[in-house]
Amino acid sequence: MNTRRDIEFSEEQQQLLEIAENFCRDKSPVAAVRTQIEVEDGFDTGIWKEMADLGWLGIAIPEEFGGSGLGMGEVVTIAEPLGRNLLATPFEATTLAAQLILDAGTDAQKSDWLPRIAEGSITALALSEEHGDWDLNHVTCEAVKNGDTLTLSGTKTLVTDAKRAEIILASVKLGGKTALVLIDRSALADSALTRETVIDETRRSFRISLDGVSVPAANVLNAAKTQSALARHHKLSCLLLSAEACGGTAACLNETLEYLTTRRQFDRFIGSYQSLKHTAVDILTGMEAARSFLYHAATVIEEEDGETAVRMAKAQSSEIFSWAGDRAIQFHGGFGFTYECDAQLYRRRAMWNTNQHGDAVYHRKRLAELLLD
């Protein structure tokens, strides 16, 4: 127990966190979030360009492929402030796609695609399907090989920012096994994309029909490395989702506190009532736990303990973000029930966040296997 690494936080991480916090606060006040909800693409191209210029998309990409060669622990320091300010960009999907390519891509794929991603080429992940199962191997889309060409079929769902993506990384069954295939966005007709209506209105999500789509056979990632890459992808996704949830919880709690300290009912500030005060404290302590799990997971993510650490982070952060959002609505009373109140933004984001890569119950089940068997 004493030799376990708990939390380490480097000078670099500290600087990144500070820069990202300032950046997100400036670029994404709630008014800007609401503006983007009404905009077709759902994010500001100018901000995306700035993020790319800051080098954020290449943080965990090795220097030889145009990145800065840091790790996912550094990416966390960007993801948390993004979540805090509800700044929805293709950052997470693009970062995670790069890691999949890094883990399972061929040499040619790595040198073709990673430098483009590091410079800001938007990448979409098409891993979900209509069944809604979190199991990344539950794949029904198919690829059939004909000489140098793969012909695809089936439908992928919940593909964020697909419309603006330059690259789409999709999971299909090839010869009965899960395979990952890179699809150049230009290989898809616009009619293959259908915008989905999702709970988190800051997201742009698409259903993609792969029927009749052809890609070069060379676009398949290394079959021998695909399973381990998918396992790592699940962990990294949970890590970034936990970061987003921790940031979101902090902002949501502050939003609630603002109301509790200014709204008066029955001649007193409502925050002086213990039923509200004590609940706010429960959210605080739950959030502190989530953030401790998060930075522990960020520390050990690539080690043996990484899976346990990140599942704890995801379980705790999903649960507390949801609860913070739920109470934010309730504590705003009648105003909380309206679209105008910002509480709904956090609650709806929390639902999206929780529904990605397993909720708290799902992760505790896995944790039981890791810790009790």
Partner 1 sequence: MSETLPDIEAFTEEVRDWVTKNKPGKQDFLLPQSFMEVGTDQQFEFLRDWQNKVYEAGYLGMSWPKEYGGRSMPQEYQDIASRELARQKTPFMVNTIGLNWAGPLILHMGSEEQKKAFIKKILSCEEIWCQGFSEPDHGSDLGNAQLKAERDGKDFICNGSKIWTSLGTYAKHMILLARTDPNTNSKYEGLTFFLNPMDIEGVDPVPIKKMTGEYGFCQTYFDNARISEDCIIGKEGEGWQVAMTTLMFERGATGGQAGGHSMMSTTIEEVIDLAKRTDRDGACSTEDPLIRDELVKLIMTSRAMGLNAARARIPALVSERPASIPMSGKLLGSEYAKKLGEVATSLQGANASYYVGDDNAIDGGRWPRGYLNAFSATIGGGTSQIQKNIIGERVLGLPKPPRTN
Where on the chain is the footprint of partner 1 (CB under 8 A)?
6-7, 9, 14, 17-18, 250, 257, 260-261, 267-269, 271-274, 277-278, 280-282, 284-285, 288-289, 291-293, 295-296, 312, 315-316, 361, 364-365, 367-368, 371-373
149: left (phi over 0), alpha (psi -120 to 50) or beta: beta
- In the complex, the smallest distance separating the C-beta of residue 239 from partner 1, rounded to whole angstroms, is 15
Q: What is the DSSP letter of 9?
A: -
- In the complex, the smallest distance separating the C-beta of residue 33 from partner 1, rounded to whole angstroms, is 20
- In the complex, the smallest distance separating the C-beta of residue 77 from partner 1, rounded to whole angstroms, is 10
- In the complex, the smallest distance separating the C-beta of residue 346 from partner 1, rounded to whole angstroms, is 17
- In the complex, the smallest distance separating the C-beta of residue 268 from partner 1, rounded to whole angstroms, is 5
Between residues 163 and 332, which has the closer beta carbon with respect to partner 1? 332
Between residues 198 and 289, which has the closer beta carbon with respect to partner 1? 289
Joined together, the tokens standing for residue 52 give: 């790319």
Residue 155 to residue 141: CA distance in whole angstroms: 6
Between residues 134 and 273, which has the closer beta carbon with respect to partner 1? 273
Between residues 139 and 320, which has the closer beta carbon with respect to partner 1? 320
- In the complex, the smallest distance separating the C-beta of residue 316 from partner 1, rounded to whole angstroms, is 7
H-type helices in the chain, by residue range?
11-27, 30-38, 45-53, 72-84, 91-104, 107-118, 223-260, 274-300, 306-331, 333-336, 343-354, 360-372
- In the complex, the smallest distance separating the C-beta of residue 269 from partner 1, rounded to whole angstroms, is 4
DSSP assignment of 154-173 equals SEEEEEETTTT-SEEEEEEE
- In the complex, the smallest distance separating the C-beta of residue 28 from partner 1, rounded to whole angstroms, is 18
HSE-up (13 A, CA, CB side) for residue 346? 32
Between residues 77 and 209, which has the closer beta carbon with respect to partner 1? 77
- In the complex, the smallest distance separating the C-beta of residue 362 from partner 1, rounded to whole angstroms, is 11
Between residues 261 and 338, which has the closer beta carbon with respect to partner 1? 261
The answer to whether the CB of 181 falls within 8 A of the CB of 109 is no
Residue 126 to residue 117: CA distance in whole angstroms: 16
- In the complex, the smallest distance separating the C-beta of residue 220 from partner 1, rounded to whole angstroms, is 38
Collect all residues with Cβ–Cβ distance below 8 Å to 79 and sequence separation of at least 6. Answer: 91, 92, 240, 243, 244, 247
Cα separation values, 86 from 14, 173, 185, 293, Å: 21, 35, 27, 21
Angle formed at CA 86 by CA 325 and CA 26, multiple of 5 degrees: 130
DSSP assignment of 40-76 equals SSSS-HHHHHHHHHTTGGGTTS-GGGTS----HHHHH
Between residues 39 and 371, which has the closer beta carbon with respect to partner 1? 371
Which residue reads 């679209």 in tokens? 339
Between residues 192 and 257, which has the closer beta carbon with respect to partner 1? 257
Between residues 96 and 312, which has the closer beta carbon with respect to partner 1? 312
Which residue reads 């069944």 in tokens? 131
Residue 282 to residue 286: CA distance in whole angstroms: 6
Between residues 217 and 257, which has the closer beta carbon with respect to partner 1? 257
